[in-house]
Structure 1
């Protein structure tokens, strides 16, 4: 079974590998788990699936469901 899938994760974080990079489809901000998120004080190493429910795009305030999986 492939760890990659097209488009949005559709709110199903269980489909995401821990190292998945996701991109906001509104402003193109990319969340990289190895970097975390300074704006929301998310420590490096936090997978997208482990982000708090209230987390939003630190660049445009878009909802987490607006993020799409980046296919390397």
Structure 2
């Protein structure tokens, strides 16, 4: 299954499933749907609902 990327529509920060976010305890390969609902953007604190899938 192909990895996807999601961008914060508030500040433009990008979460890439393949890379994860190890410094926040999210392992590489973690799918967006497996990230907790209370996740916030590390750049601007926007909620998970403020992200949209993008093509890189």
Runs of at least 5 residues in structure 1 that lack an aligned partner in the other structure: 1-16
Greater radius of gyration (CA)? 1
Corresponding residue pairs, total: 56
Calculate the aligned-residue CA RMSD, in Å: 1.7
Length-normalised TM-score, structure 1: 0.67
CA contact (8 A) 2:11 2:43 kept: yes
Length-normalised TM-score, structure 2: 0.84
Q: Whose strand proportion is higher, 1 or 2? A: 2
Which segments of structure 1 move beyond 4 Å, counting only runs of 4 or more? none
